């Protein structure tokens, strides 16, 4: 029974490139495994371009969507702050709003009226 070489994985992961090359020159089984790894690497490089191109098509759409969201959100927020003049007239620096200012029914003590 032939013993198979099991050094390829250890040399590939843990040793330097020179040691791996020396072993590949001596061992036919490891050389075949290296050729298979090279083929797989070539396939990955070939397909990688397709996926990167597909990813690049999505980026501008995402950036445009984010910009539109920020534009709409900021314009609505600024519109509410600028157009709410009643609140600006009622509220001054250092003052607090009371229940009466907010339009709730209050009694003579300024407490909320629950029922009559």
- Per-residue confidence (pLDDT) for residue 80, from 0 to 100: 67
Distances, alpha carbon 96 to alpha carbons 9, 40, 77, 87, 91, in Å: 73, 71, 22, 11, 7
- Per-residue confidence (pLDDT) for residue 90, from 0 to 100: 55
| pLDDT tens by residue, 20-62 | 888 888 888 888 888 998 999 999 888 888 878 777 777 788 8
- Per-residue confidence (pLDDT) for residue 69, from 0 to 100: 93
Instruction: Report the distance separating Cα 115 and Cα 91, nearest Å.
Output: 28
Instruction: Report the distance separating Cα 60 and Cα 17, nearest Å.
Output: 41
């Amino acid at each position: 029974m032939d013993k198979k070489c099991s050094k390829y994985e250890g040399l590939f992961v843990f040793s330097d490139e020179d040691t791996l090359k020396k072993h590949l020159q001596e061992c036919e089984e490891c050389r075949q495994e290296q050729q298979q790894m090279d083929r797989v690497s070539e396939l990955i490089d070939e397909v990688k371009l397709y996926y990167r191109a597909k990813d690049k098509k999505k980026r501008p759409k995402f950036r445009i969507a984010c910009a539109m969201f920020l534009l709409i959100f900021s314009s609505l927020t600024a519109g509410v702050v600028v157009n709410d003049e009643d609140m600006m007239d009622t509220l001054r620096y250092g003052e607090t709003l009371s229940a009466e200012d907010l339009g709730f029914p209050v009694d003579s003590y300024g407490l909320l009226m629950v029922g009559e």
